[in-house]
Amino acid sequence: MEYESPGHPESPERVKNTYEFLNTKGYEFIDYDYCQEEDILLCHTQELIDSIKSNNFFDPDTPNLPGIYDYARLSVGGSLKALDITNKERISFALIRPPGHHASKSKLGGFCYFNNIAITVRKSLKKCAIIDIDCHHGNGTQDIFLGDDKVMYFSIHRNGYFYPGTGTESIRNCMNYPLHYPSESDWLKAFNSIISKVREFSPELIAVSAGFDTYQDDPIAGLGLREDVYEEIGKEISNLSKPTLCVLEGGYSDKLPVCLFNFLKGLEYST
């Protein structure tokens, strides 16, 4: 909650409000620590790390702020902690920022510095299905895992003239489902198709890039999803009965806390 760029939608209030809301629902929170530079090197180039560490970069969406290297490293640490919890408890959710799925091997972008979920999946050494339900295509995650037989990447995202403009078709182990707004029924159709493909792939670990900017009133994105639908989504993922780790990506509306809570309720369905 310490870093912010005034007026930026990726604000501290996102996690603050969600944290407070989940607290009232009785959720427990676990502390975590910075990841090591060698963890980041599992997915990113030394050049990218050095440019962030020395605050020597410019991206219109991804602010260059004092101490951002440590905040980004802390976010990766939260995702890695979630992996530990998943190994013990089967399901975990990392309520972290900055998000990560737009960070590719050598480039930051789209509010993302390091790819939290990608680093965590690599570190797990497990056969993994990544399900990206954020409204935007996880171009960074695709860049990192394209051609990696151990990982399948699935993404449902908004199509057209929409950031980052990638994911218009499936390629090798990266299955993409671009959709136009609004699309709740098409979204669920695509999601169900992903669920059966994940079942066929039979991964040891499921990692979810959990973005909630698909919510119908999200101020910067949206795919027409109503807040109750997140419970159904969580339930379907839970029914796969696999160790599951979820990492917060986007979600910028004031309904983020309730959308996320509904998703957790669904995930807990079969535990």
Residue 44 makes contact with Zn ion by CB under 5 A: no
Say how far apart CA 203 and CA 43 lie, in whole Å. 20
The number of residues that bind Zn ion (CB under 5 A) is: 6
- Decide whether 132 or 236 has the Cβ nearer to Zn ion: 132
Question: Which region, judged by CB under 5 A, interacts with Zn ion, from 85-93, 170-178, 183-191, 207-215?
Answer: 207-215
- Decide whether 49 or 154 has the Cβ nearer to Zn ion: 154
| Alpha helices, H only, the chain | 12-24, 37-40, 46-53, 68-89, 116-124, 139-145, 184-201, 229-238, 256-267
Minimum Å distance from CB 35 to Zn ion? 22
Residue 100 makes contact with Zn ion by CB under 5 A: no
Q: State how far the alpha carbon of 216 is from the alpha carbons of 67, 92, 223, 251, 256, in Å.
A: 34, 26, 6, 11, 11
Backbone angles phi, psi at 22, to 5 degrees: -70, -30
Minimum Å distance from CB 130 to Zn ion? 15
Tokens describing residue 91: 């399901």
State which of positions 126-145 bind Zn ion (CB under 5 A): 134-136
- Decide whether 203 or 250 has the Cβ nearer to Zn ion: 250
Minimum Å distance from CB 221 to Zn ion? 6
Minimum Å distance from CB 218 to Zn ion? 9
Say how far apart CA 224 and CA 168 lie, in whole Å. 19
- Decide whether 49 or 131 has the Cβ nearer to Zn ion: 131
Positions marked catalytic: 102
**Residue reference for tokens 């980052």:** 164
Residue with smallest beta-carbon separation from Zn ion: 250
Say how far apart CA 141 and CA 155 lie, in whole Å. 10
The number of helix segments (H) and strand segments (E) in the chain equals 9, 6
Question: Which region, judged by CB under 5 A, interacts with Zn ion, from 67-75, 89-97, 168-176, 206-214?
Answer: 206-214
State which of positions 209-268 bind Zn ion (CB under 5 A): 211, 213, 250
The distance in angstroms from the start CA to the end CA of the chain is: 31
Residue 97 makes contact with Zn ion by CB under 5 A: no
Residue 203 makes contact with Zn ion by CB under 5 A: no
- Decide whether 243 or 251 has the Cβ nearer to Zn ion: 251
Backbone angles phi, psi at 240, to 5 degrees: -70, -15
Minimum Å distance from CB 98 to Zn ion? 12
Binding site for Zn ion (CB under 5 A): 134-136, 211, 213, 250
